[in-house]
Structure 1
């Protein structure tokens, strides 16, 4: 059996054994917040997003517990979060993007200050809500709708042509990415990349030439490979380069 096909089967079988997380499923937990100088996210999150992790979704981002982060598969996932204090909190709450991972005391979410403040019914109530520190919440997974296609950024630690690392951006709110492969024209084979951490995937001694990329994705209803129909990573790639694919995940 072709090795690429063999590993694809293994990945798919493993994913099918995971419990499905429906976007309509509402769960209960607790949330806190973290402070930055501007109230936005942090560029040093465990997903490896860099400044994207600070600014994405207008800075309304979160640090997720290990069970939601899922070793990086949860990076880029979107959640609608609302707190249960009816005197202080709105019915709608806030939509956040997972950019980091940490386990707080009984919390599944640690929101950026900007996101946490949006839980309040009115901006004037935000200081009182923040004074609580930790609040009871309900949350559910929702679509992000980034407004753009899946993007691949060459990580700054990459070294042409010895070591290639990429960061996957605009991943999609209800779609997880479990594997990434690049296509080598010479051998006509897909080569598996390794999840280095978070949304960062790497490969030592990458093949030469333009590289097509495909992603093993899963939602609550299906698991499949998705592939860009155009060359994603150019032959003469360099660290910091960002390339948009023709793939859009929701």
Structure 2
């Protein structure tokens, strides 16, 4: 017996909606976490993402290095909720962290800053948790939130005006990941791709003169989209300076 037209329509609707429902579903993944040494309990400015001082202090220094979640640098800036699974020692909510570095541990997905590791513990149990060194955890991807901060384009310290420009994007909110960055060349009316130098750092030799317009490809809940930022960086840009945009990613 054949399907009725109405039943076929419902079946197609379910098939179309199912991938979206699966994408948006929140679930925890089992893993392990450890911590790295830090004299001030903060992040490290020399992290593999290239964030510099931002990577040391962002999110109140609740940051982490990751291994497979690093995704060749695309995972830099992603946010996760990480909670350890020992009910006697661990807080139910765990800690929300930002990925700022790459690191491999003893079958761990996260190498947390000491501050973030402490935040996983219940009151007065941090010392016991640190004694374990490596703990079982569960984690899930969560939206990043920076209190209304707008996207910033930081000219990396390695840049040399005007012959070499390297940039890194700061404060990408939501669950977005930057996949590519392009610069507009007014002389040939064309978008030119920047090279991913390492981590979240993109660069270009002999960039266009004058103010620099950028566009970046973002992957998120809406799929792959391009976001344009006209005149994102001024013509007299300086290494180490972060330029704020009018863009807020959700």
**TM tier relative to shorter chain:** 0.7 to 0.9
SS in 1 for 2:60: helix
Equivalence for 2:165: 164
Give the aligned length.
228
Equivalence for 1:231: 231
TM-score (norm 2): 0.88
In 2 relative to 1, CA 234–92 (structure 1 residues): closer, same or farther, beyond 3 Å? same
Q: Deviations over 1:6-58 (max 9, x none)?
A: xxxxxxxxxxxxxx975713211000011211111111100011111110000
Partners of 2:115 and 2:174 lie apart in 1 by 20
Q: Could you tell me whether the CA contact under 8 Å between 1:210 and 1:233 is conserved in 2? A: yes
SS in 2 for 1:232: strand
Partners of 1:195 and 1:226 lie apart in 2 by 18
Matches within 5 A, 1:77-88: 77-88=78-89
In 2 relative to 1, CA 140–23 (structure 1 residues): closer, same or farther, beyond 3 Å? farther
Equivalence for 1:95: 96
Is 1:142–2:146 an aligned residue pair? Answer: no
In 2 relative to 1, CA 21–130 (structure 1 residues): closer, same or farther, beyond 3 Å? farther
SS in 2 for 1:128: helix
Equivalence for 1:128: 128
Q: Which has the larger radius of gyration?
A: 2
Gaps of 5+ in 1: 1-19
Partners of 1:45 and 1:21 lie apart in 2 by 30
Runs of 4+ displaced beyond 4 Å:
20-23
Is 1:62–2:64 an aligned residue pair? Answer: yes
In 2 relative to 1, CA 202–103 (structure 1 residues): closer, same or farther, beyond 3 Å? same
SS in 1 for 2:130: helix
Partners of 2:24 and 2:63 lie apart in 1 by 20
Q: Could you tell me whether the CA contact under 8 Å between 1:44 and 1:50 is conserved in 2? A: yes
Q: Could you tell me whether the CA contact under 8 Å between 1:163 and 1:204 is conserved in 2? A: yes
Q: Deviations over 1:193-213 (max 9, x none)?
A: 011011110001111111111
Q: Deviations over 1:146-189 (max 9, x none)?
A: 12111111111111111111121112351110100111222211
Q: Match for 2:33 among 15, 26, 31?
A: 31
Partners of 1:238 and 1:118 lie apart in 2 by 37
TM-score (norm 1): 0.88
In 2 relative to 1, CA 186–167 (structure 1 residues): closer, same or farther, beyond 3 Å? same
Equivalence for 1:216: 217
